[in-house]
Amino acid sequence: MLNTDVKTLKNYVGGKWIEAKSDKTESVYNPATGEVIAEVPISSHEDIDHAVQVASEAFREWKEVPVPKRARILFKYQQLLVEHWDELAELITIENGKNMKEAKGEVQRGIENVEFAAGAPNLMMGEQLPSIASGLESGVYRYPIGVVGGITPFNFPMMVPCWMFPMAIATGNTFVLKPSERTPLLATRLAELLEESGLPDGVFNIVHGAHDVVNGLLDHKKVAAISFVGSQPVAEYVYKRGTQNLKRVQALAGAKNHSIVLSDANIDNASTQILNAAFGSAGERCMAASVVAVEESVANEFIDQLVQKANDITIGNGLDDGVFLGPLIREQHKERTLSYIETGEKEGAKLIRDGRTDGYAQEKGYFVGPTIFDNVTTSMKIWQDEIFAPVLSIVRVKDLNEAIDVTNHSPFANGSCLFTRDGGSVRQFRETIDAGMLGINIGVPAPMAFFPFSGWKDSFYGDLHANGKDGVEFYTRKKVITTRWV
Ligand code: NAD
């Protein structure tokens, strides 16, 4: 039922804030308090159809705007994002729950994407070969592709949209964003600041909603490409339906990231890094550490340090100073996490730290404390599934070969980290591990904007990843011209 005390968000189409035609809404909660902070419209096919139409008309003019002029708008946008850094971070904490330090870091990651996209004049350059045969030359020119649809998850309301629209519009496309219905507020600020930067109407649009809007984008004839980030089943669905409709699709999916700790590692560094990677952002990161394969000879020492550090974590509202671990996104997700903890116990894993008993777990927000299982095996659900919560599984292994076997057994292959001081082990890990983003002695190997976010296997569907040169390729198409000067 509609809560009349709170604002119902509007869609942003053609530079105007308009009410959705559909009167269906969903409540948006502050996950730290359980309070409703807004209502988000669950827009209809008609709403998305209108937005794509407007974006398609805007494309005709926007693609003709000289590339340096488009870049200048992004320079202005970058300045505005920097000026509004704290305000944006606070909004992220309120709607997502992560702590302010992490939220500020997320804003930084978003800004870095804008900075990278502002290099469009360089990135869009073609290539020439002045002599392909006697008197003949060839060159490649790069062009935008049209209307791009972006579908984003709840866990990075700023960074993930910024993986998409800055590069898409810098390269001359127009964009329709469907933000997560669970964290839709930040997107509205991104649009307001874009408008302030001087972006022409219709180049960037927002349609709030859920699967109807997604299907509307996937089926619309005037949408040329889809950038998706979210869970594995939805990514697979989006990739199949989008490509069946002959669209270019990049679909970044779920994960189950493994860290490997060898006996020669700096155990203090390994336990600190893995603690941050497992419990930072309440484990709601596609690059979260969710499994540690640790060599038996150092397992006890590593686990002792990890548990000690986990006991020192401050749980609470991410707006409060010193808080490290905030809430999960929704009550339903908390219930799902608690049921995984029960499953782990039933499967025979040893629960060595129980996040259900932390004081905050009883509060109104959706809190679960750091939870650690030892003696986990690959036959257990808690090893197989992406729990997306502060639940860490430890698998004891005899050596690096076994650790790599365990890791490669997972159908997911987003990130993987190795903790060691041995060069030979690093080389073996790099050459044989199934993962697209690797870290050595670090916990979260998330690449910067100028490198691709390159998940493998069931963590990614498509050819061209988000960010880096892949992003430029994804949002452009090429013409090759062959000329004889007569
Ligand atoms: P989600 O799949 O539930 O939602 C993602 C988007 O898809 C949302 O906009 C949502 O409205 C839409 N959606 C959900 N169900 C749908 C359906 N049945 N049909 C059509 N559209 C649907 O994901 P989430 O819970 O918001 O985000 C967390 C997931 O995202 C995790 O699995 C995480 O690993 C993944 N993720 C991956 C990356 C990456 O780079 N690989 C980055 C961030 C998050």
R_g (Cα) of the chain, nearest Å: 23
Give the residue extent of every domain in the chain: 7-253+449-484, 257-440
The answer, yes or no, to whether residue 251 has pLDDT greater than 70, is: yes
- Cα distances from 381 to residues 148, 220, 313, 385, 410, in angstroms, run 37, 38, 26, 6, 12
pLDDT at position 360 is 82
Separation of alpha carbons 414 and 252, rounded Å: 9
Residue 178 in marked binding region: yes
Give me the residue label for tokens 């020669």.
Answer: 264
Atom of ligand 1 nearest to the CA of 253: 41
Q: What's the pLDDT tens digit per position in 422-478? A: 999 999 999 999 999 999 999 999 999 999 999 999 999 999 999 999 999 999 999
Residue 2 has pLDDT above 50, yes or no: no
Q: Whose CA is nearest to atom 17 of ligand 1?
A: 211
Residue 228 φ then ψ, to 5°: -125, 140
**Residue type present at position 136:** L
Return the percentage of the chain with pLDDT > 90, whole number. Answer: 97
pTM of structure: 0.97
pLDDT in tens, 171-201: 999 999 999 999 999 999 999 999 999 999 9
CA 147/CA 144 separation, integer angstroms: 9
Task: Please check whether residue 421 is in contact with residue 265, taking contact to mean a CB–CB distance below 8 angstroms.
Answer: yes
Residue 318 has pLDDT above 50, yes or no: yes
DSSP track, 450-478: TS-B--EETTEESSS-BSHHHHHHHTEEE
* pLDDT of the residue at 111: 98
CA of 70 to the centre of ligand 1 (A): 30
Distances from the Cα of 215 to the Cα of 210, 224, 243, angstroms:
9, 14, 13
With bands split at pLDDT 50, 70 and 90, how would you rate the model's confidence at 480? Answer: very high
- Rounded to 5 degrees, φ, ψ at 315 are -100, 145
Give CA–CA dist 89/94, Å, rounded.
9
* Residue 286 is among the residues annotated as catalytic for this protein: yes
Does residue 414 have its Cβ closer than 6 Å to ligand 1? yes
For the CA of 153, the nearest atom of ligand 1: 26
CA 253 to ligand 1 centroid distance, Å: 7
Distance 268 CA to ligand 1 centre (A): 34
Distance 284 CA to ligand 1 centre (A): 11
Contact 167/472 with Cβ under 8 angstroms?
yes
Give the per-residue pLDDT at 1.
39
ipTM: 0.99
**Residue whose CA is at the smallest distance from ligand 1 atom 16:** 211
- Kindly report the protein residue whose alpha carbon is nearest to atom 39 of ligand 1: 252
User: Is 59 assigned a ligand-binding role in the annotation?
Assistant: no
The verdict on the CB of residue 163 being under 6 Å from ligand 1 is no
Q: Is the pLDDT of residue 3 over 50?
A: no
Mean pLDDT over 326-355 rounds to 98
Ligand 1 pocket: which of 219, 257, 286, 470 to mutate (most atoms within 8 A of CB): 286
The catalytically annotated residue of 194, 277, 286, 294 is: 286
pLDDT for the residue 486:
86
What's the pLDDT score for residue 363? 77
* In contact, 245 and 395? CB cutoff 8 Å: no
Helix (H) or strand (E) holding 277: helix 267-279
Q: How confident is the model at residue 5 (pLDDT cuts 50, 70, 90)?
A: low
Q: Is 99 left (phi over 0), alpha (psi -120 to 50) or beta?
A: beta
Which residue CA neighbors atom 20 of ligand 1 most closely? 211
Q: Rounded to 5 degrees, what are φ and ψ at 196?
A: -65, -25
b or e along 215-234 (b: 16 or more beta carbons within 10 Å of the residue's beta carbon)?
Answer: ebbbbbeebbbbbbbbebeb
Q: In the predicted model, what is the mean pLDDT of residues 4-10?
A: 83
- pLDDT for 206: 98
Ligand 1 binding pocket includes 435 (Cβ within 6 Å): no
Q: What is the pLDDT of residue 179?
A: 98
Cα 114 to ligand 1 centroid, rounded to whole Å: 23
| Range with lowest mean pLDDT among 4-13, 63-72, 251-260 | 4-13
The string of DSSP letters for 204-246 reads: EEE---SHHHHHHHHH-TTEEEEEEES-HHHHHHHHHHHHHTT
pLDDT score recorded for residue 184: 98
Please name the residues in contact with 233: beta carbons below 8 A apart, sequence gap of 6 or more. Answer: none
- The CA-atom distances, in angstroms, between 355 and each of 109, 335, 375 are 30, 13, 18
User: Could you give the 3-state DSSP secondary structure of residue 111?
Assistant: helix
- For strands 412-413 and 456-457, give the pairing: antiparallel
Tell me how far the alpha carbon of residue 383 lies from the centroid of ligand 1, in angstroms.
20
Question: Residue 69, annotated ligand binder?
Answer: no
For the CA of 209, the closest atom of ligand 1 is 11
Which of these, 381, 373, 401, lies nearest to 292 by C-alpha position? 373
Please tell me whether 63 is known to bind a ligand: no
- The pLDDT of residue 326 is above 50: yes
Atom number of ligand 1 nearest to Cα 181: 11
Could you report the per-residue pLDDT of 114-149, keeping only the tens digit for each? Answer: 999 999 999 999 999 999 999 999 999 999 999 999
DSSP 17-73: EE--SS--EEEEEETTTTEEEEEEE---HHHHHHHHHHHHHHHHHHTTS-HHHHHHH
pLDDT digits (tens, 9 = 90+) for 27-58: 999 999 999 999 999 999 999 999 999 999 99
Nearest CA, atom 21, ligand 1: 211
pLDDT digits (tens, 9 = 90+) for 352-399: 999 999 988 777 899 999 999 999 999 999 999 999 999 999 999 999
CATH label, 257-440, candidates 1.10.357.10, 3.30.450.20, 3.60.21.10, 3.40.309.10: 3.40.309.10
Residue type, 100: M
398 alpha-carbon distance from chain centroid: 34
7-253+449-484 domain in CATH 3.40.605.10? yes
Ligand 1 atom with least separation from CA of 254: 34
Question: Is 328 near ligand 1, meaning CB less than 6 Å away?
Answer: no
